[in-house]
Each structure stands twice: as structure tokens, then as C-alpha cells.
Amino acid sequence: MSASLFYLALLGYLAATALALTYLIQRHEGIYRFAALATQAGWILHTLSLVVRGVELSRPPLGTFQEAISVLVWAAVLLELWSERQFGVKVLSAFVLPVAFIFGLSTVTLPEGIRDLNPALRSAWVSVHVILALIGIAAFVLNFAGALMYLLQERQLKSKRQGTFYYRLPSLETLDRMTSRTLTLGFPFLTLGLILGIVWAGSIWGTVLRWDPLVLFSFLAWVVYAATLSGRAVAGWRGRRAAYFAILGFMALLLTLGAGLFLPGRHGGL
């Protein structure tokens, strides 16, 4: 039941992705309305699938890595719907939904069960650790999209060639504000999530640090984001430099998720 709901949600996201990309090129308000509808429909189906799965398993749907990524997609789409209104950037979905859809698709293409969480890790504390980290990462998906849009628009303005992106993308100021806001939103969540993870690891294994690729990459991402945040606050970084760092941080997060899915470590046993 929860699986078929999730497939329907993915279908909604796929339709929304296609429509959002069409809107980016065509800029037809009717297409935008359909894209927004498809996104909302997909998100509602996704919510239902998570609830049903939680009821079916009688535990929060955070027990496997696939489940965690599904929740991540859910949070990212919710944030996307919110920021689209908050910053008035209608083309945002064209940059966020493809990422969300690919993430969502990755969870169903992987065989079920191989990434079950170590039963020792099933506790409320671990759920909180996962939720905090996922909210942080969802904000960084938006951060990445904002940075990418910034770099595209900046290129258009610098090269003085007015193409599709010049007309479709909002001002550099708006994009920089969006990148900055999503960074300040995501960073505390990521930080708290990591701290909880460290504390929990210390209490259960007695050691905090051990060779674990996921932990390594997530700390790398944290360092990049911490550097960007202090650069923005102290040295007045903005624009292109901040955007490059946002993309670097997101690459580290991708490696983190990839490590969780494919490499052995404390987060999932092979």
C-alpha cells in the first residue's frame, strides 16, 4: 500500500519536473499552474505513503537508508513549495524538482532490505538525529538550487548575452538572498544532527571516531558550510564565491548520501 502510494507520488514528481522544465523554456502561466498542481499532488501522495508506511511498520519510516532519503525528498519538496512563494521565484521548481525526483527514484531502484539499519540503532534519539540531519540537507538542496541559478544568471549578465536564463531567472540579489537564507536555515539543523550522532555513537560504542565514509563526508560538508557562513558573516562574502561554496558543500552531501547507500559503515551494515 505505502509502496504504491510512493510510486504514485514519484509519478506526480516526474510530471511536475517535466512541466516545470517546460515552463522554464516556454513561460506559459497555464503550464506553471499545472506544474504547481502536480507538485502539490505528488507531495500529498508522498505524505500519505510515509504515514501509511509508519502505521504498517509501527515505527517512524526512518529505519532504512531508502526511507531516510524518501523523507529527505519529502522535506525538500515542502521547502521548495514554501520558498517559491517566499522569494517569488516561479522557476525554482525547475531546479529543485529534478534533484528531488532523482533522489526519490534512487530509493526504488535499490533492492529493498540491504540497507536495513543496525537494530541496535532503533531508538528515538537516532530518529531525532536523522530528522535533524535530513531537514538540514533538504535546506541545502534549496541552497544548491539557488547557487546554481545565481551562477547561471551571473554568467548571462557578465557575458552580455541575453538568453533564456536572463529572462527567466530573477535578480542576482534575490538569488543571493535565497542562498543565504537557506544556508542559515540548514546549518543549525545539520550541526545539531551531527552533534546528536556523535553523542549517540559515544554512548553506544564508546568511541566517537571510527573509519566511516558517511561520517567523514558529512563532516567535510559541515566544514564547507561553516566556512561559507563565517565568510558571509565576517568577510562579507556573497555572490559568486558564496555560490561556489554552496555547490561544493552540496557535492560533499551527495558523497555522504552515496556513502550511506553504497559503502559499509555504522549507518548500514553489509
Partner 1 sequence: MELFVAGLSHKTAPIGVREQLAVEEDKLREVIGAIHAEGIFSELMILSTCNRVEVYGVAEVPGEARALAFRHLCRQRGADPASLEPLVYTKSETEAVQHCFRVASSLDSMILGEPQILGQLKEAFALARSCQTVGPVLHAVMTRAFAVAKKVRTETGVARHAVSVSFAAIELARKIFGSLDGKAVLLIGTGKMGELAAKHLVEQGAFPIYVTNRTWSAAQELARAMAGTAVPFEEHLATLAQVDIVISSTGAPEPIVRREDVQRALHARRSRPLFFIDIAVPRDVEPAVNDLENVFCYDIDDLRQVVEANIRERLREAQKAEALVEREVGKWAARLQDLEVVPTIVSLREKLETIRQGEVARALSRIPDAPPETRAAIEALSQSIVNKILHVPIVKLRESSRSGHGRRVTELVSDLFGLSRNGNPEGDDE
Contacts with partner 1, residue ranges (CB under 8 A)? 27-29, 153, 157-158, 160, 162, 166-167, 170-174, 177, 235-241
Question: In angstroms, how far is CA 76 from the centroid of its own chain?
Answer: 5
Q: What would the grid cell of residue 26 be?
A: 516556454
**Closest separation in Å from C-beta 229 to partner 1:** 16
CB nearer partner 1, residue 25 or residue 108: 25
**Closest separation in Å from C-beta 139 to partner 1:** 22
CB nearer partner 1, residue 171 or residue 230: 171
CA distances from 188 to 137, 139, 208 (A): 11, 11, 21
- Cα atoms in the Cβ-side hemisphere of radius 13 Å centred on 56: 12
**Closest separation in Å from C-beta 32 to partner 1:** 11
Q: What is the rounded CA–CA span in Å between residue 13 and residue 224? A: 30
**Closest separation in Å from C-beta 167 to partner 1:** 6
Q: What is the rounded CA–CA span in Å between residue 71 and residue 65? A: 10
Q: What is the rounded CA–CA span in Å between residue 178 and residue 219? A: 24
CB nearer partner 1, residue 124 or residue 235: 235
CB nearer partner 1, residue 153 or residue 256: 153
